[in-house]
Chains A and B, each alone.
Chain A
Amino acid sequence: MLDQQRDYVLRTVEERGVRLIRLWFTDVLGNLKSFAISPAELENALEDGMTFDGSSIDGFSRIQESDVLAIPDPNTFEVLPWGDSRSDTKATEARVFCDIHNLDGTPFDGDPRQVLRRNLQAAREQGFTFYVAPDIEFFYFAPPERGQAPVPLDEGGFFDLTTTDVAGTLRKQTIRTLETMSIPVEYSFHEDAPSQHEIDLRHTDALTMADSIMTFRLVVKEVAASQGVHATFMPKPLEGVQGSGMHVHLSLFAGDDNAFYSADDDYNLSPVAKSFTAGLLRHAAEITAITNQTVNSYKRLVPGFEAPVHVSWARNNRSGLIRVPIPKRGNASATRIEYRSPDPACNPYLAFSVLLAAGLRGISEGYELPPEADANLFEMSDADLSKLGIEQLPQSLSDSLKVMERSTLVQEALGEHIFEWFLRNKRSEWRAYKTHVSAFERERYLRAL
């Protein structure tokens, strides 16, 4: 670390009267974890890291040694915008993302941020930087009661004000907070479903973006909670309306040039873009457990709700898995592909890792891009689809785990530690789900059988 960078952080803490520094990191399931230190400890933390017991963190546990080291990444030091607005105390807080290391200084295998760093390094060795821009959807509800169906703000009569005003104000406040935290917003709008909103972030490098998504989820929830509203990134909270996805726009840059662009191609796609896309298509089923990691995720991936079901690509067809948006003329650097299956409940570090690994595999093996599927796939019969060689994404968490456990690509991308732990954890989630008897079943069978 540059001395000057460390000084910058220490000096800012002093000058801005920061009382508490929150060290942030992410568990394997993508939950934000945090512990706080005082300014007096910060210099030492920046230099040597802070030791803590990892055994209480999901996916960090190991058989013997459980202590790990959190080393702050000073690039991510940021004063939290909600710190001093809280009336009396004026206790300004700051946060900094950490990389988790073993006590001997080597990267800790259970840390998703380190996993993404390792995959980005692999891309860098081939001369690429990986850029990502997500479109994140979420719902605002009245604070949920245990076991009750969620009540959307738009219909619940929860607020006396016209509800669109409340949601609109929330969204505006959220965007302002994001922008003061170095997260520029590209677009935002009310989505199709009641109380559903979308915020699109402006592209940046994948590591910064994964950090930004962690911050984003916290900011959306914090701002909502300050108005007594519950924000959720659950993939399919309401039956019969569309769920919340996180489409990710992906591109590789070689130096300053967009490696996906080619002026000579009919689609303006370079060979790199085509084999990257082919890699994503071929390995899509294997990485779905990571991009869609909950039982509930698969209730979103059904026909009729603008979520992809089939493994296909096209330029302007929103029913396929990958869309290639046509950039405005002369804007070569905007060339990108949009991968549409992930949902905002995924772990962004791991999701970006497997997406990148699948794409890079396509490049290194020179995969052929299959033909574009521009028909509406939802209207085609299964027989026609299989004639075109178009397969479906896994239909349940159980299915996607089965494909994942046979995937050496995912195993290499995640590393043994996370790969094994994730499979164990998610199989047990599936077993718990299987024992559940749902309202659907009682409705359908109780009287009839």
Chain B
Amino acid sequence: MELVAVYPEPPPTDLARTLDLAGYRWKAVGSADDAARHEPPTGWSGAVVACDQDPEGAWAFCRSLRKRDTPVSPLLVLVGGGQLSDLELRDDLFDDFCLTPFHPVEVEARLRHLFFRGGPETRPELVEYGGLSLNLETYQASIEGRPLDLTYMEYELLKFLAQNPGKVFTREMLLSRVWGYEYYGGARTVDVHIRRLRAKLGEEHANHIQTVRSVGYRFGQSRWGT
């Protein structure tokens, strides 16, 4: 079996012991750069990320493994009971999770199952909503069949919103889910990009993106029909 990446560096001792006992070959890495530097020629065969020490760093690390040509998979995250809400809307960043403090047998069972299944299920390729269509395979957006030219971050933001229609997001949530925590500009960046997207969607479609007063933004109609 090839190498499994383990975060952080050094990893929690009980995790290291569990992986050793289960017979995994692994290497601890402390950052995305580290992971790139130590990556075996055939790529990481998977990753285990402990989120309880430094959650922001850990999620940024997961993001770095997933946002690349060949996303690292399977990816198991270890989270504390108080961090379960962090999992929400990060489904693309991990394949399974395990609560800490963990039972070694559980981690072993979950890893075995993940490796057996062989990676995450494929995601739908098309997102469509009210005349707007996003092809996730080709990165192309169109509106009423006409191409919509977007910058990379505009595309990522629209994709995220359109994949979660009817749901209200705060600026902070959008910033952390679309840009990642490592982005410096602050939630103001979100407003700037929303304004740019609305301008590009044009008058007819600009109202797909609704401002929810003193909360944030919502794509499409509210699920409660208001």
Contact = CB atoms under 8 A, between A and B. Distances in A.
Interface of A: 2-5, 7-9, 11-12, 15-16, 74-79, 81, 124, 129, 131, 179-180, 182-185, 202-205, 208, 253, 255-256, 333
Interface in B135-153: 138-140, 147, 149, 151-153
Interface residues of B, number: 27
Given A8-B155, A15-B138, A204-B192, A3 B68 contact: yes
B195 A184 contact: yes
Interface string B187-202: 1110010011011100
B67 interface: yes
B10 interface: no
Contacts of A180: 149, 199-200
A9 B152 CA distance: 8
Given A179-B200, A184-B196, 5 more contacts: A4-B68, A74-B152, A79-B149, A184-B195, A256-B187
A313 B153 CA distance: 38
Given A5-B152, A182-B200, A205 B185 contact: yes
A4 B67 contact: yes
Contacts of A81: 149
Contact of A253 (B172, B186, B196): B186
A256 B185 CA distance: 8
Contact of A11 (B138, B147, B153, B192): B138
Contact of B140 (A12, A131, A183): A12
Which among A8, A16, A253 has the highest number of chain B CB atoms within 10 Å?
A: A8
Interface string B5-33: 00000000000000000000000000000
A16 B69 CA distance: 21
Nearest to B172: A256
Contacts of A185: 199
Contacts of B196: 182-184
Nearest to B199: A179
A9 B102 CA distance: 42
Contacts of A7: 69, 139
Nearest to A257: B186
A15 B140 contact: yes
B186 A129 contact: yes
B65 to A, nearest CB: 11
A259 B115 CA distance: 50
Contact of B68 (A2, A15, A75, A183): A2
Nearest to A4: B67
25 contacts: A2-B68, A4-B68, A5-B152, A7-B69, A8-B139, A8-B155, A74-B152, A75-B151, A75-B152, A76-B151, A79-B149, A129-B185, A129-B186, A180-B149, A180-B199, A180-B200, A184-B196, A184-B198, A202-B192, A203-B192, A205-B189, A253-B186, A256-B171, A256-B172, A333-B188
B24 to A, nearest CB: 26
Contacts of B138: 11, 15
A79 B139 CA distance: 14
